[in-house]
Amino acid sequence: MIIRPRPNGWQLLYILRGSIVPAIAPKVLAIGALAVAVAAFERYWHPFGRDGVTVVPFTLLGLVLSIFLSFRNSACYDRWWEGRKLWGQLLIESRGFAREAGALLAAEPELRARASQLVIAFAHALAARLRGADQVAAAAPWLAADQMAVLERRNIPDGLLAQLARELALPLREGRLDPYLYGQFEARLHGMSSVQAACERIAGTPLPFAYTLLLHRCAWLFCVLLPFGLAGALGWATPVVSMLLAYAFFGLDQLGEEMEEPFGLEPNDLPLDAMVRTIEIDVLDALGDRPIPEPLQPQGYQLR
């Protein structure tokens, strides 16, 4: 996620870091080069006559493409925002678990510490699973030696929740934990499991490929053909206008593509590492562990 002060004045014209320009610059420059060639060809040979090609078809195509891009970007933003809300819910569940563990398991500090560290391990493993990273390496530092068997599970975050349920069931069976109080913890585990399932739904269900492919093709078709429609009327100004429109259409397309997969590592994706660190800090602070790690800060205006 890009985090930086809002630009003002002339900064709007030259800021690159945090913008979509580096990702689409090759495409925009290619359209600019094509527009220069078309403008020169039209200037000296007039292949389409003195009046050139009418711009009406390009106006209609641009309008349709704008509507399609608007719908796609809205759908992609909904996925991004839902992912953010889900991780906010995970933070709520983790803090609630740590608070309840501190109040209800105060007489069993070892169980409280083991359970709380499993919550941290779950957050790390879930982030790694959503990003296709190593779940074992992410969760292992937070597990005790007798908990390592859970790392053999195919779905490690789910296995960690199962292990957490087993840890809490032991004092329940021995009569040291009231069934009603166990139900409080079970509600937290259910909330975490629901967050995981919803995140996996987003990660495993991209927008229909045919729809995305149609927009890619239409954007390229419009931007490639546009110089032919503008050259007769604009002359040497054709490259400037063509590049501006290419910047708008390719930029919207690229931005939607990044937000479509909100758990990735693109500049505009969600900062899962920072959110996991927040959960880690809050749970360790509730345990009274010291020292507590510092929150992650943006590097080059990007927070991961």
Write down the pLDDT at residue 122. Answer: 95
Nearest to 202 by CA among 191, 210, 194, 211: 194
CA distances from 9 to 14, 15, 261, 280 (A): 10, 11, 32, 40
Write down the pLDDT at residue 30. Answer: 92
Those residues with Cβ within 8 angstroms of residue 224's Cβ, 6 or more apart along the chain or in another chain: 31, 34
Write down the pLDDT at residue 50. Answer: 53
Those residues with Cβ within 8 angstroms of residue 11's Cβ, 6 or more apart along the chain or in another chain: none
Those residues with Cβ within 8 angstroms of residue 19's Cβ, 6 or more apart along the chain or in another chain: none
Those residues with Cβ within 8 angstroms of residue 159's Cβ, 6 or more apart along the chain or in another chain: 150, 151, 153
- DSSP code of residue 121: H
Q: Identify the H or E element spanning 9.
A: none
Delimit the domains of the chain by residue range.
20-287
Between CA 73 and CA 50 the distance in angstroms is: 40
Question: Along the 304 residues of the chain, how does pLDDT read in single tens digits?
Answer: 667 666 666 666 666 666 778 888 889 999 999 988 888 877 766 655 555 556 666 677 777 778 878 888 888 899 999 999 999 999 999 999 999 988 888 888 888 999 999 999 999 999 999 999 999 999 999 998 888 999 999 999 999 999 999 988 888 887 787 888 888 889 999 999 999 999 999 999 888 888 888 888 888 888 888 888 777 777 788 888 889 888 988 888 888 888 888 998 888 888 999 999 999 999 999 988 888 888 888 887 677 7
Write down the pLDDT at residue 129. Answer: 94
- Which tokens go with 221? 């078709």
Q: Beta partners for 2?
A: 302
